[in-house]
Amino acid sequence: MRSLLRPSGPSGAGSHSRSLLRLTQAVPFVIVGLALGVELSPAHIVITGPLLAAIPALAALTMGPKGTLSAATGAFSVTVITATLHQSWGGQVYSNLISLVAVSIAGVIMSNAVRRRRQSELDQVRRIAVAAQRVLLRPLPTRLGPVRVATMYLAAETGAQIGGDLYEAVPTRYGVRMIVGDVRGKGLPAVRLAAAVLGAFREAVHYEDNLVEVMNHCAAALGRERASSSPADQSSAEDRAEDFVTALVAQISDTYVIQLVNRGHPPPLVLHHGKVQSLAPTSPLPPLGLEDFITALPDEAENFPFTPGDRLLLHTDGVIEARSPDHEFFALPEAMEAVQPCTPPEFLRQLHQRLLRHTRAHLADDAAMLLVERLDGRDSRI
């Protein structure tokens, strides 16, 4: 799932834009090289001075002060070298040099102003993204009743803040209730879908005693959000069919079991006495938003053992689908078993390091992890 600060178009679009920018930045230097070639050829009678004088202004449109100054230096050098070589020093050459210096100063000032404005706009966008992240993915306390909690969000692209991966943990009168999910949409519409699901979860967990009903509220909120989207936000029919959410809701109470409702999400993993077990659902269900494929919803959540010392890892598919340069998937269960005994935050940090080594620090998708450690029953007050 693409992040909020990441372009929502195809992955090749960003590469194409970068290539076009590099090509544009090379234009001033290409013109300087062509001017030098003309001056050193029999066609040196062609006057290139006015063209060279415009080089700094052209460079200032796409480069910063240093790039503008470099292009201006190249143009100045060509003018001086060719004037000396052809012994053409005179009023025209001096006039060209004065124009070149003036345009260079103006170009450096302009490029610096443009750079500052762009940086200011980028900083503002980042502040908005951070604020949105704090609303959607709120920092969780390290202790919630009978469990210790640690979270980690891994953006696939440097500078990205949030995307379609979501998680939350809330202490309630029924126990600690958690959700992890992944929106299969694009751009800002996906962020809105994630917000709708999280909002419904945060509300329903406090008054619905049945975990299945909590998930149903999330599904209903997703349906309302999709139906109320403006025409400008609506994608093609094919894209709308892919705007669904895989979600997993869990509950941990005073009993040594964990309740799960899974709607098309990767099963969580439990680390028990050094061995990892996948808590796969007995009857798999489709994701939220694809209710047409459900013949009947379950009445109750599934129960699994969860004893003191056990660690539960809720994660998105960006973790298990991370690939190495040899296209091998990340072996998450083996990685969990290889982590040395440590605190939950350190556990996730070690998993993160192993994931980066596996992918050579190149994640193809965002990834979220929520780790929960069960405490002893004598110290498990909600």
Question: pLDDT digits over 343-353, tens only?
Answer: 999 999 999 99
Residue 45 has pLDDT above 80, yes or no: no
Spell out a b/e string for 55-64, using b for 16 or more CB atoms within 10 Å of the CB, else e.
Answer: bbbbbbebbb
| Of 304, 261, 305, residue with least CA distance to 283 | 261
pTM for the whole structure? 0.70
Instruction: Please give the CATH architecture assigned to the domain spanning 137-379.
Output: 4-Layer Sandwich (3.60)
Residue 284 has pLDDT above 60, yes or no: yes
Quote the pLDDT of residue 8. 42
pLDDT band at 31 (very low <50, low <70, confident <90, very high): confident
Q: What is the pLDDT of residues 184-200, one digit of tens each?
A: 866 677 788 888 999 99
- Mean pLDDT for the stretch of residues 237-265: 85
Q: What is the pLDDT of residues 123-180, one digit of tens each?
A: 787 777 666 666 677 889 999 999 999 999 887 655 555 567 889 999 999 999 999 9
Residues of the chain with CATH 3.60.40.10: 137-379
Q: What is the DSSP string of 225-249?
A: HHHH--TTT---HHHHHT--EEEEE
Residue 375 has phi, psi (to 5 degrees) of -95, 170
Quote the pLDDT of residue 315. 95
Question: Residue 114 CA to chain centroid, in angstroms?
Answer: 26
